Amino acid sequence: MAEAVGVVAESLAGDRARAARTVLDQVVLPGEELLLPEQEDAEGPGGAGERPLRLNAGSRSRGRVVCGPGLRRYGDRLLVTKCGRLRHKEPGGGSGGGVYWVDSQQKRYVPVKGDHVIGIVTAKSGDIFKVDVGGSEPASLSYLAFEGATKRNRPNVQVGDLIYGQFVVANKDMEPEMVCIDSCGRASGMGVIGQDGLLFKVTLGLIRKLLAPDCEILQELGKLYPLEIVFGMNGRIWVKAKTIQQTLILANILEACEHMTANQRKQIFSRLAES
C-alpha cells in the first residue's frame, strides 16, 4: 500500500506530460497533461540532433483535434479534468484529428446543448414552463416550442407531466432552455410522454452504455415482452409495459445491470423467459 502511494505521488509530482496515444483506454487522473501525437514527434528525437526534415514546416497536417468531456485545452496540450478511461475516435470524414474524451462516471447531470433529456414540469408561468431536468436550475420551455403550437392552439401540458426534449441553450452563465421540436419544426418523438409508466434515475455512464449501438441488454430486453423505454441523457429512464409487475421487473433489471457481469445477466434473463 505504501509503495503504491509513493509511486503515485512521484508521478503526480513530476507531472511529465505523457503522449495521449500511449494512454488510450487507461485510467487517467485529473491534473495529468497529455501530448498530442504531432508534438510528441517534435519533442522526441530532439536530443540526438537528428530531426526529421519537414517539408511542410509551417503547416501542421493534423487538422483540428476535438477535446471532449473530461478534457480541457492547456496551451498546446490536453489537461485531464475528470478521472476515468481515456478514449479516442478516429475522424470519419478524413478531416480533423479525431476526438479524445474521458469515459467517466457520475450521477449529477450538467446540461449540455443538444442533449435529449426527460424533464418534469414543475411550474407554468405565463408563456413558459419550468422543467426540472436534474441540473442546478430548472430549464425553461416555451409553449410555442411544440409541434403545431400557435398562440391560439396551446399544447396540453400540465404541471407534473413528463417531457422529452433537447437543449438549445445550455452553458454555465445562463438558465438552460429546451424545446420539443427539431430544427425543421417537427416533433420527431419529442414532447409530452404518455400516461402511466415508471420514471427512475440511474447513473449517466449507464445511459451511455445502454444507448451504445451494440448493446446486448436492450436486445435481450426487447425479446422478453412488449415494452416502451425512453432514455434521458440526464440519467432518467421511463419504462412502460402492459402490467405493473412487468414494468417493475424492467426497472429493477435496468438499475441492477450496471453492476452485473454478463453471465449473471444471462442467468436472470433466462429465468425470466421461463416464467
Partner 1 sequence: MQRGLDSETKKQLEEEEKKIISEEHWYLDLPELKEKECFIIEEQSFLLCEDLLYGRMSFRGFNPEVEKLMLQMNAKNKVEEVEGEAVELDVSDEEMARRYETLVGTIGKKFAKKRDRANYEEDENGHIKPTVKVKKMFLKPQD
Q: Which residues bind partner 1 (CB under 8 A)?
A: 36, 60, 62-69, 71-73, 76, 78, 87, 89, 97, 99, 101, 110, 112-116, 164, 188-189, 208, 211-213, 215, 218, 221-223, 225-233, 240-242
Nearest distance, CB of residue 266 and partner 1, angstroms: 18
Length of the chain: 275
Shorter beta-carbon distance to partner 1: residue 157 or 241: 241
Shortest spacing between CB 189 and partner 1, in angstroms: 5
DSSP 168-222: EE--TTS--EEESS-TTS--TT-EE--SS-EEEE--HHHHHHHTSTT-HHHHHHH
Q: How far is the CB of 2 from partner 1 (least distance, A)?
A: 38
CB-wise, 151 or 223, nearer to partner 1?
A: 223
| Per-residue exposure over 101-138, b if at least 16 CB sit within 10 Å of its own CB, e if not | bbbbeeeebebeeebbbbbbbeeeeeebbbbebbbeeb
Cβ 240 vs Cβ 188: under 8 Å: no
DSSP, collapsed to helix, strand or coil, labels residue 38 as: helix
- By beta-carbon proximity to partner 1, the closer residue of 10 and 90 is 90
Q: How far apart are CA 72 and CA 75, in angstroms?
A: 10
Q: Taking the complex as a whole, how short is the minimal distance between the CB of residue 1 and partner 1, in angstroms?
A: 35
Smallest distance from partner 1 to CB 125, Å: 27
Closest distance to partner 1 from the beta carbon of 33 (Å): 13
Other beta carbons within 10 angstroms of residue 162's beta carbon come to: 20
Cβ of residue 107: shortest distance to partner 1, in angstroms?
16
How far is it, in rounded angstroms, from Cα 59 to Cα 61? 6
21 vs 62 by CB, closer to partner 1: 62
Residue in this structure with the C-alpha cell 432518467, named with its chain if needed: 236
Nearer to partner 1, 14 or 226 (CB): 226
Q: Judged by CB, which is closer to partner 1: 75, or 160?
A: 75
Would you say 144 or 218 has its CB closer to partner 1? 218
List, in sequence order, every residue forming a beta bridge with 125; answer none if it has no partner: 128
Distance set, CA 173 to CA 39, 96, 111, 137, 176 (Å): 34, 29, 12, 11, 9
